[in-house]
Amino acid sequence: MNAPFVAVVSDIDFRTDHGSALGQRLNDLLSACGVVVVKNQSLTPPLFMRAIEHFGELMPQQIKKFTLPDYPLVGFNSSNDLPRKDGKLQVRGENYHTDHSNELTPPRATALHAVQVPATGGDTQFVDVRAAYDDLPDDVKGKIDGLFSLHVHQSSKSPRSLAKLTAEQLALIPQTRQPLAIKHPTSGRPALYLNTGRMEGIEGMPEQQAYALIEYLYNHATNPRYEYRHRWQIGDVVIWDNQAVMHQANADYDPAEYRYLLRLMIKGVALTPHRTTA
Ligand SMILES: [Fe+2]
């Protein structure tokens, strides 16, 4: 694996292996890396829930129409979630982002389990936003110190369309001001915290300047040097730390092929700004 922030586990079976020792091992891997890939699993929704509970308490998904009626904490991501546009496939999660960043306590982690995947395409890409922060020039680190952005359901400058909601549904979706640079909740490492689909400018900064800075940081953080690209195989479980990496989906596969993954999220904590000076 040529991405230093990804661990691959191929010697466990979540159907039979569980217990605190396994949970500790997996949590240590997730904390040390940022993305953990567990191969060759075959999990029903309740078994997937039990597997991911090794990482903490499960968190409800914001958009209820993409959850299982019998297991409301379990979301799904399918090739039929969105209508085709001029015959072309539309998928959720395009453009690099971190999940539910508009929550006061965004999820610590998100997990997907591949049930059905296309022959080619439909990869998920990840970038390490801790390494991206480390590589920023010092003057940029200083410039973003103490800056906050309001994360809403969908930014007025969003490059992607998020789920269309009724006024009643929208009223239930939170919005939260988040730091541009966070102190990672467990490791303490600084990391960029960006979500161009949700960031509504930068507090105290003129609009044009704010979006130019967001674009600069986003382009920097999504450089391929920080990337791991996951090519899904049926049975994969991938769990990632939402405060260590951003991720994005790809709508690049044959719309006639069916893709279906189960999705779970783990509760997180309110984010702390990273300060360049103590
Ligand atoms: Fe996502």
Q: How many Å lie between the centroid of ligand 1 and the Cα of residue 206?
A: 29
Q: Which residues span the domain enclosing 213?
A: 6-273
Ligand 1 center to residue 24 CA distance, Å?
25
In a domain, 278, yes or no: no
Instruction: Work out how many domains the chain is built from and give that number.
Output: 1
Exposed / middle / buried, residue 208 (Cβ in 10 Å: 0-12, 13-18, 19+): exposed
Q: Residue 51 falls within a domain, yes or no?
A: yes
Tokens 């929208």: give the residue: 170
CA of 242 to the centre of ligand 1 (A): 9
CATH of the domain at 231: 3.60.130.10
Q: Which regions of 56-162 does DSSP assign to beta strands (E)?
A: 58-59, 67-68, 71-78, 109-116, 124-128, 148-151
Q: What integer pLDDT is reported at residue 63 of this predicted model?
A: 85
Alpha carbon of 277 to ligand 1 centroid (Å): 32
Instruction: Give distance in angstroms: CA of 97 to centre of ligand 1.
Output: 6
Ligand 1 centroid vs 28 CA: distance in angstroms? 23
Q: What is the pLDDT along the chain (278 residues), one digit of tens a residue?
A: 567 899 999 999 999 987 889 999 999 999 999 999 999 999 999 999 999 999 999 999 988 899 999 999 999 999 999 989 888 999 889 999 999 999 999 999 999 999 999 999 999 999 999 999 999 999 999 999 999 999 999 999 988 777 778 888 888 889 999 999 999 999 999 999 999 999 999 999 999 999 999 999 999 999 999 999 999 999 999 999 999 999 999 999 999 999 999 999 999 999 999 999 86
Could you say which DSSP state residue 64 is in?
Answer: G
DSSP-derived pairing of the beta strands 124-128 and 109-116: unpaired
* Separation of CA 184 and ligand 1 centre (Å): 19
| Paired residues of 171 in beta bridges | none
This prediction has a pTM of 0.95
Q: Is residue 103 part of a domain?
A: yes
| Coil, strand or helix at 27 | helix
Ligand 1 centre and the CA of 248: distance in Å? 7
Ligand 1 centroid to residue 270 C-alpha, Å: 19
Rounded to the nearest angstrom, the distance between the alpha carbon of 139 and the centre of ligand 1 is 30
115 located within any domain: yes
According to the model, what pLDDT value does residue 1 have?
A: 55
How is residue 85 annotated by DSSP?
B
Q: Nearest-CA neighbor of 101 among 50, 175, 2? A: 175
- Asked if the structure places residue 177 within a domain, the reply is yes
Residue 38 burial (CB < 10 Å; 0-12/13-18/19+)? buried
Cα(278) to ligand 1 centroid in Å equals 33
